[in-house]
């Protein structure tokens, strides 16, 4: 028994180490590094402004019109337009973490020239609007995960094998219900948030993509898939809620670059703020669509997974009957 107690204690410590690295570590090591901003104005003055900030900022010196286009495309997180007074331009369609850093840096740069700069926000956003994209992504992941886990457990207790048709219906059904839940929360949090076909369709795509991916892994690995699917939910707020320029390079490469939550959160953020042509919407559609196709292939592919072969249907088992 003492050996089992020791193994259990070591397992708990290892889980704490892994989650510490994946979640709190990303927040504890966050620091600006090459945050993209733009400055527009007389070339000599703009170049002098751009010389400040060190490696924390990555300046682009350009015209006011081009700077605003870069902001619309999320290639910069803020714009400083030099004038009397200067104007700091930000956008509600940009990740709030990047906007905050850019606004502080640009305001300080404008103040160094003398005077207080004006603040202008493209696509103004409410507190709910800033929270909604990541919240919807996390709710879609955990809602579909619980549905897939419940189906697996219920079938296991009943001694039944889950067919491809049942898993497909579960993917579509939970996608519809989770989309309705997210829409309800959006309406509750801020009635001004748009609930048009673009927004709801994107949420439905994200939910069904997550559900299909989870269903495929649960079919292939059974409950062991939770060792992968569970920690991903914990990673979402710490990593997907940041812009890459605020993350440690290791987290930027190993986690942020591929985590599915950032594609759904950033694409939905642009749609909610009325920027359907933003690059991250197109990227999100491609990535989530690929996840949906890959998950459905794993769910619908003919044949039985190793898990299903190891646990045959009760009707296929041989039951020994003794006669006394």
Q: Is residue 30 part of a domain?
A: no
Query: Number of folded domains in the chain?
Result: 2
297 and 152 inside one domain: yes
Which residues, in sequence order, are bridge partners of residue 40? 62, 81
Whether 102 and 110 have beta carbons less than 8 Å apart is answered as no
Model pTM score: 0.83
Segments in the chain forming alpha helices (H): 2-19, 25-28, 43-50, 64-72, 96-112, 127-158, 164-189, 197-221, 226-235, 249-251, 260-272, 279-300, 306-310
171 and 263 inside one domain: yes
51 and 103 inside one domain: yes
107 and 146 inside one domain: no
- Residue 154 sits at the vertex; the CA angle it makes with 152 and 160, to the nearest 5 degrees, is 80
Give per-10-residue mean pLDDT for the chain (324 aa). 76 77 74 88 81 79 91 92 89 90 87 82 90 92 92 86 87 95 95 93 96 91 82 75 85 82 92 90 95 93 58 44 47
299 and 164 inside one domain: yes
Whether 158 and 200 have beta carbons less than 8 Å apart is answered as no
154 and 195 inside one domain: yes
197 and 171 inside one domain: yes
Whether 48 and 65 have beta carbons less than 8 Å apart is answered as no
134 and 100 inside one domain: no
- Residue 49 sits at the vertex; the CA angle it makes with 45 and 51, to the nearest 5 degrees, is 120
Sheet holding 118-122, edge to edge: 57-62, 35-40, 79-81, 87-91, 118-122
3-state SS, residue 88: strand
Kindly give the pairing relationship between strand 118-122 and strand 87-91. Answer: parallel
Q: How many CB atoms lie within 10 A of CB 281?
A: 20
Whether 209 and 140 have beta carbons less than 8 Å apart is answered as no
Token pair belonging to 200: 């709801």
**Domain range holding 281?**
127-310
Task: Give pLDDT, residue 54.
Answer: 66
236 and 163 inside one domain: yes
168 and 201 inside one domain: yes
Whether 147 and 140 have beta carbons less than 8 Å apart is answered as no
Q: Is residue 18 part of a domain?
A: no
Select from 89, 122, 155 the last residue of a domain.
122
Would you say how long the chain is, in residues?
324
| Residue 155: burial class (beta carbons within 10 Å; 0-12, 13-18, 19+) | middle
278 and 145 inside one domain: yes
Select from 76, 91, 122 the last residue of a domain.
122
Whether 280 and 267 have beta carbons less than 8 Å apart is answered as yes
What region, left, alpha or beta, does residue 74 occupy, with left being phi > 0 and alpha being psi -120 to 50 degrees? left
């Amino acid at each position: 028994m003492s050996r089992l107690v020791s193994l259990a204690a070591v397992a708990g410590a290892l889980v704490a180490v892994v989650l510490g690295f994946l979640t709190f570590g990303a927040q504890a090591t966050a620091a600006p590094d090459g945050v993209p901003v733009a400055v527009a104005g007389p070339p000599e003055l703009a170049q002098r402004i751009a010389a400040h900030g060190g490696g924390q900022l990555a300046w682009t010196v350009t015209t006011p019109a081009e700077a605003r286009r870069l902001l619309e495309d999320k290639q910069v997180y803020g714009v400083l337009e030099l004038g009397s007074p200067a104007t700091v331009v930000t956008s509600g369609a940009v990740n709030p973490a990047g906007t905050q850093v850019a606004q502080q840096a640009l305001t300080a740069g404008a103040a160094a020239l003398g005077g207080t700069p004006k603040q202008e926000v493209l696509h103004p956003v409410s507190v709910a609007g800033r929270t909604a994209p990541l919240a919807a992504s996390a709710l879609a992941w955990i809602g579909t995960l619980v549905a897939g886990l419940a189906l697996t457990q219920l079938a296991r207790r009943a001694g039944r094998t889950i067919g491809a048709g049942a898993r497909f219906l579960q993917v579509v059904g939970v996608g519809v219900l989770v989309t309705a839940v997210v829409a309800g929360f959006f309406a509750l949090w801020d009635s001004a948030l748009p609930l048009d076909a673009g927004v709801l369709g994107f949420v439905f795509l994200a939910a069904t993509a997550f559900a299909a991916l989870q269903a495929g892994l649960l079919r292939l690995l059974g409950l062991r898939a939770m060792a992968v699917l569970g920690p991903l939910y914990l990673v979402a707020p710490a990593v997907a809620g940041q812009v890459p320029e605020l993350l440690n390079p290791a987290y930027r490469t190993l986690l942020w670059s591929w985590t599915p939550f950032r594609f759904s959160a950033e694409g939905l953020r642009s749609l909610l703020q009325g920027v359907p042509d933003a690059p991250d919407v197109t990227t999100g559609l491609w990535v989530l669509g690929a996840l949906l196709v890959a998950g459905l292939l794993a769910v619908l592919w003919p044949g039985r997974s190793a898990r299903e072969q190891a646990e045959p249907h009760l009707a296929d088992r041989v039951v020994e009957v003794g006669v006394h």
